[in-house]
Structure 1
Amino acid sequence: MVRAGRRAPLILAGVGFSLIFVAAGPAGPALAGEDGPTNGTTSAEKKGNTVAAVAKISYTSSGNNKGGGRVASVDTNWTPPACWYAPEWKATEFQEYRQRLYFGARHDPDAPRDVLGDMSDQNQAYAKDGYNIDKEKDGMWWGAQQNPNASMADQFKCDREPFWVENGETPDVPQAIDPETLAGLAYEQIEVPGTKVSLAPDGPSKVNLPTWAWLDKGDFQPVSVTASLNAPGLHIEATTTAKPTALSIKPGTEDAVRIPASGKCELNEDGSIGEPYAKGKSKQTPPCGVTYRRSSGDGTFNLQATATWEITWTGTGGAGGDLPDGEYGNDQPVSVEEIQSINR
């Protein structure tokens, strides 16, 4: 049995194809122009706004994401998983893949000879166990997969050689795919609704009079994404949910007073933010809004409304927990006029 080891990732470029792989380990994409089994590098395809791992990880979503976009973590030290290990090949597929990989590299005039030697040695080691073809129905070869949105350096931190895992077993290998990994990948796919707020009174805002800001309850509802992986003897999934908690207002100028002073408008019990303006309230203080202290002149101020989303997840086997809060916001122009008197 070939044991998991670590190698530095190498990139070989040849005539007619490019090859990215870990020396003597999990090699990268199938050779260009050839059909073949899936490999250690996750293939990706665009499905609407979702990047899905082909035949590996699938995503489903629920909730309102109208007019919005991807939520971003407020914790700059947290990122979705860059790479992981997952079921990749049946035994016969793995044999074919490794042989094609070596054949392609041999015909690349730029391929380093020492790398070819390592690849040959490893293929012979795999061949000693017959690539586990006699166990075709009992397990799969696991390999490294990469998140195409991560940096190349982080993607190739998963540099173990492919390893065999019996169906139903959980490999004791760091970064082996699990519900928490899927939760992080689902986080990356969450799209939330836009945060263009309603402003009143109608027309341009007035200097020294409060401008009311609000979002209706139908605009702010939880959004979930479920990431699932299905392979022989293995089914795991995780659902990551974003729940709105507050809306932060930035007036677009320092000559303004935010309401409340923190600029953070909390979510109401009915799921709305702030309070709709009603006639006769022009001089009252709104629960959410801004008071401009000077005119915008011939231009506008760029008001920014950013929603904060609490992120949690649940997964197979009762797993679950919290992930860093997320944010998403929109900008909108606001005209502010000087006035001498107002009759309402």
Structure 2
Amino acid sequence: MPVTGARRTFIGTAAVALALSTLVLAEPAYAAKPVGSDEGASTEQTGGGDETGIYAAARIQYSGSVAADGGTGNVTSADVNWDPPPCWYAPYLGAKDFKKKMSADLEEAASAPGMAGHAGAAIGQTKAHYEDGFGWEDTPGYEDYNVAKDGEGMFWAGVENPNEPDILKRSSCTDLPFWVDNGEAPPPQYEEAITPEILAALAYQHMQLPDTEVSLAPEETTKVNLPTWAWLDKAVFDEVQATATLAVPGFALQATTTAKPVSLKLEPGTPDAETYPASGECAINADGSIGEPYANGKADQSPPCGIKYLRSSGDGTFDLQATITWEIAWTGSGGAGGDLPDGTFENAQAVTVQEIQAVNR
């Protein structure tokens, strides 16, 4: 029997009761056999599964240049207001498996101490939602857990991003599990349902950029007031790709995130230095390289990308920070695609700066 009113209010009450049960829909990433031979490929579990081997949960598979074992990569978003999704909704269980788990969870929750008043009423409403077809506003109920449609779709449920440090954000996908037919899109009210764009953001989060060290001339040890040339060859400074894939019977999505290097910023590690150009931002050349290698005969020239230290580093070194900015875009299932915030990756190199010794006669 449909009921009008605020869906979110009902869901919030029910979620409090369900939090006391064993309905844990998100689990930490785990190491799994990589898919294909791509370096760093990994698989991240997004919920469900049991010892019976029944296929019962969607899994996001990462491939390409990604961190091992589902860990976060080394890209930092240049947009401080952008974050990967803290949670999302994804395929969870088929109808028969969902009935088995959910009915057991509700029975356990109902028998827990203190399950009276609002909490007890929420459990009762939840049972009516899945057993008797009790619905509300824009959400239908499910008679007998939709068992009559087993194999024709799946129940979707909230999944926490295990790499999200904020527990409140991570646990904010609190709507009750909902049914989606095979080949159909989730109802529009579930804005956090998994999409190619969400997969692209997750691929971004797991992307591993190369540990590229800037070439310097002179190498490691330079002299006060002597221009130090800096450059990156195209061969070690190329675009990087990471792919995230989610596939279950009747539903499949994929997104590939591509990072393309666009500039290098040099920070000498001391205010007593000058950079070339003055901004410290070295743009990418037409051939995909940055800067220009030093060659004999250029000692009296200023480098297009480099540093000049104005004092000695003494008995220590200066930490030269080389930050590479990467332009990031994505493509996904169904021709979807777009841009993501630029990413940055920083390398630190120790540079020794010596005084030029002069001999007086």
Q: TM-score, normalised by structure 2?
A: 0.80
Moved more, 106-115 or 238-247: 106-115
* 2:26 matched residue in structure 1: 41
Moved more, 265-274 or 139-148: 265-274
Alignment of 1:7-156 (within 5 A): 22-23=15-16, 40-46=25-31, 52-54=44-46, 55-62=58-65, 70-106=74-110, 108-109=112-113, 114-128=118-132, 129-150=143-164, 151-156=166-171
Partner deviation per Cα, 1:109-130 (whole Å, 9 max, x = no partner): 4777643442243123311201
Moved more, 272-281 or 140-149: 272-281
- Mapped partners of 2:194, 2:357: distance in 1: 66
- Residue 205 (structure 2) aligned to one of 179, 183, 188: 188
- Mapped partners of 2:66, 2:125: distance in 1: 52
* 2:140 matched residue in structure 1: none
- Mapped partners of 2:357, 2:183: distance in 1: 76
Q: 1:29 to 1:210 in 2, by over 3 A?
A: farther
Q: 1:227 to 1:320 in 2, by over 3 A?
A: same
- Greater strand share, 1 or 2? 1
Query: Mind listing any 5+ residue stretches in structure 2 that lack a counterpart?
Result: 33-39, 47-57, 133-142
Asked whether the 8 Å contact 1:201–1:282 carries over to 2, the reply is no
Alignment of 1:216-231 (within 5 A): 216-231=233-248
* 2:139 matched residue in structure 1: none
Partner deviation per Cα, 1:31-72 (whole Å, 9 max, x = no partner): 7xxxxxxx632552145685723542111115999xx95111
> Could you tell me how far 1:2 is from its partner in structure 2?
8.3
- Mapped partners of 1:131, 1:104: distance in 2: 18
- Residue 172 (structure 2) aligned to one of 157, 162, 187: 157
Secondary structure in structure 2 of the residue aligned to 1:70:
coil
> Could you tell me how far 1:166 is from its partner in structure 2?
1.3
* 2:251 matched residue in structure 1: 234
Number of matched pairs: 322
Q: 1:64 to 1:42 in 2, by over 3 A?
A: closer
- Residue 267 (structure 1) aligned to one of 237, 260, 284: 284
Q: 1:203 to 1:125 in 2, by over 3 A?
A: closer
User: In the alignment, is residue 212 of structure 1 matched against residue 215 of structure 2?
Assistant: no
User: In the alignment, is residue 170 of structure 1 matched against residue 185 of structure 2?
Assistant: yes
Q: TM-score, normalised by structure 1?
A: 0.84
> Could you tell me how far 1:263 is from its partner in structure 2?
0.5
> Could you tell me how far 1:285 is from its partner in structure 2?
1.1
RMSD: 2.9
Moved more, 175-184 or 97-106: 97-106
Q: 1:142 to 1:236 in 2, by over 3 A?
A: same
* 2:7 matched residue in structure 1: 5
- Mapped partners of 2:252, 2:182: distance in 1: 11
Q: Which amino acid aligns with 1:239?
A: T
- Mapped partners of 2:220, 2:98: distance in 1: 66
Query: Mind listing any 5+ residue stretches in structure 1 that lack a counterpart?
Result: 11-20, 32-38
* 1:35 matched residue in structure 2: none
- Mapped partners of 1:139, 1:205: distance in 2: 66
Partner deviation per Cα, 1:146-183 (whole Å, 9 max, x = no partner): 11122111122212111111111112121111111111
